Each structure stands twice: as C-alpha cells, then as structure tokens.
C-alpha cells in the first residue's frame, strides 16, 4: 500500500524510550516494518531521521516540512513526566485524536469521573487553525468534572485548551486540582500501524506532588480503556470525511475543523474511502 505524502511527511512516535531494550527491536508504522537499534542512549531506525524528545523515540518515513513540534512545558523543572503505557487500539488513529478532542462524551464514557449525566452541556468554545505553525487550537473549553484528575478531591469546573500539532499528535492543557494558575499537559501521541490499527502513547507533564506514579498511571489507563471500548465499536473504524456520513453538532466544532484541516492537507491514511469525489 502506498502512503500519501500528507501522512508520510510527519513525525511519529514509535514508543517510549524506556520501552526499547538494548540491541535490535522492531516496530510498525504506516504499514512499514522498522528495525530499531539501541546502543546505550543512541538510536538508529533503519536509515531514517530520529528524535528522542518527550521521553519518546520519533521518526519519519518522509520529509517533514517542520521540525518535531515543541512542548515548552517539557522544560519546566517542577513537572512530573508520566508514561502511561502503550495501548493497542483497533481503530484509525484519526478516530483516537478526534475522541481526545471531544468534551461531550465525558458524562457517558467517563461517568462520575470526567463528567456527570446531570451536567452534560457543552458550552460554546472556539477553534482556530493557526496557519503560521499549522496547528489547531481549541480554546475556552469548560466542563464540570466530579473527579478531574488522580489528585482531585471534589468536583470542579475544568478549563481545557486543546492543541493538535500534527494529524496524529494532540495534547491538552487542563487546570490541575492543586495549582489553579498552572496547566497540566496531557498528550496523546498516536502511532498509526495500519489504517485501522493504532498504538496510543499517552504521556503527561503534570503538576502533582501528591499522587504516586502508580496512581497517576492508573487514573490515565482507566480513562483510556473506557475510550477504547468506544473507539473499537465506532462504524466505520476509519474516519469518514465524506459529508453526510456522520452528524456533527455545535459541540463537535473541534471535529469539524479537524476534518476540514485533514481534507486541506489531502490526508487519506486512516480515512474512509470517499464516493463523492470525481
């Protein structure tokens, strides 16, 4: 299967640094088998470009027009970097990103944790395509959460900002229960293995000196496994870009802008074949 330039010319993670044993291992990306050689702290991925940032190993099968995106918070010394483990999901990676951007599912998929059924309303928020950096930003997002994080002790109106840096990489900024003037960073790096098979690498940079590592990982894994049930049971597993295949409402503004952005890029990997184009 040939992969189009829009998908090839991007940076992808192929796993957390700590998950690579010394010597040779293999991973799969966009339907290609990769051979990774680790010698102490240096990595080779076939003859491809390599980055080791944010605790993960990154590579590309094409020629990205931009360097790997920056996460300035990764340089703040008081943040804890938390690796939540790789999760294999039988769905398009684009579906994972879209679900990550979604507020309206909190009361139903993460019931009594990230939302409650009595407060399901999604207030108006804003989404912009920042053309200078080619990123999507959703701002002014708010949602009532009974248990917003591992360290939460009561409900709060959580504020969110979402940042989509590439079609398969996304992060959010969220008010932490312990430091209302700072933002927790939760990233989801998606490794598209096949069009309908992905490995999710959730990664957090949090302000939390209360929770144990196990509590932070446990919380994030609980949330992600709840999402996985939905993601593997959406039909189709691939993301539909054809108008009329699904039914967005105002709460889905992030999804609408994300899909428009993908179309603008002519990205098709992980999308459903369209029948409405000449």
Partner 1 sequence: MWIPIALSRDVPAATTRAVILDGMELVVWRGETGPVQIWEDRCPHRGMRLSFGFVRGNSLNCLYHGWQYGEGASCERIPAHPDLVVPPTIKANAYASTETGGMIWVNLPATDGPPPVFLAGRPIASLAIAAPAQTIIDSLGQPAAEAQLVETKLDGISLNIGWHSPGTDRTMLHVVALDPGNVESKALIALHQLRASAERTGP
Residues that bind partner 1 (CB under 8 A): 103-105, 107-109, 117, 120-122, 229-230, 233-236, 240, 245-251
Q: At which residue do the structure tokens 């398009």 appear?
A: 92
Residue 133 CB, nearest distance to partner 1 (Å)? 28
Of the pair 213, 246, the CB lying nearest partner 1 is at 246
Q: Which is nearer to partner 1, 80 or 105 (CB)?
A: 105
Q: How far is the CB of 199 from partner 1 (least distance, A)?
A: 22
> For partner 1, which is the closer residue by CB, 29 or 103?
103
| Residue 118 CB, nearest approach to partner 1 (Å) | 10
Measured distance CA(38)–CA(229) in Å, rounded: 34
Output 140 or 245, the one with its CB closest to partner 1: 245
CB of 240 to partner 1, least distance (A): 7
Token pair recorded at residue 156: 């709060």
How far is 236 from 158, CA to CA, in rounded Å? 31
- Residue 260 is inside which H or E element, if any? helix 253-265
Burial 145-170 (b: 16+ CB within 10 A, else e): bbbbbbbbeeebebebbbbbbbbbbb
Nearer to partner 1, 2 or 247 (CB): 247
Which CB, 35 or 233, lies closer to partner 1? 233
The DSSP result for 179-228, as a single string, is -TTS-EEEEEEEEEEETTEEEEEEEEEE--SSS-HHHHHHHHHHHHHHHH
Closest listed residue to residue 143, CA positions, set 162, 157, 127: 157
Shortest separation between residue 237's beta carbon and partner 1, angstroms: 9
- Look at the block and give the residue holding tokens 């912009």: 128
Minimum Å gap between C-beta 127 and partner 1 is: 15
Integer CA distances (angstroms), 181 to 125, 126, 145, 175, in order: 20, 21, 18, 7
């Amino acid at each position: 299967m040939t992969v189009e330039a829009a998908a090839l010319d991007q940076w992808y993670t192929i796993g957390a640094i700590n998950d690579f044993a010394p010597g040779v291992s293999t991973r799969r990306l966009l339907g290609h088998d990769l051979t990774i050689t680790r010698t102490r702290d240096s990595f080779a991925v076939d003859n491809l470009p390599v980055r080791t940032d944010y605790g993960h190993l990154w590579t590309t099968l094409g020629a990205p027009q931009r360097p790997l995106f920056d996460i300035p918070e990764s340089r703040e010394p008081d943040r804890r970097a938390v690796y939540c483990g790789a999760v294999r999901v039988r769905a398009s990676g684009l579906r994972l990103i879209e679900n990550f951007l979604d507020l309206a599912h909190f009361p139903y998929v993460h019931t009594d944790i990230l939302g409650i059924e009595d407060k399901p309303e999604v207030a108006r928020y804003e989404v912009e395509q920042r053309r200078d950096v080619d990123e999507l930003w959703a701002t002014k997002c708010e949602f009532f959460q009974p248990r917003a994080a591992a360290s939460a002790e009561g409900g709060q109106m959580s504020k969110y900002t979402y940042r989509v840096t590439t079609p398969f990489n996304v992060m959010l900024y969220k008010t932490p229960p312990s430091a209302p003037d700072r933002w927790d960073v939760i990233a989801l790096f998606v490794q598209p293995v096949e069009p309908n098979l992905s490995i999710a690498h959730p990664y957090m940079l949090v302000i939390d000196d209360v929770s144990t590592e196990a509590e932070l990982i446990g919380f994030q894994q609980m949330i992600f496994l709840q999402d996985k049930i939905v993601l593997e049971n959406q039909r189709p597993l691939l993301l539909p870009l054809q108008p009329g295949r699904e039914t967005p409402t105002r709460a889905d503004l992030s999804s609408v802008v994300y899909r428009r952005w993908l179309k603008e890029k002519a990205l098709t990997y992980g999308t459903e074949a369209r029948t409405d184009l000449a």
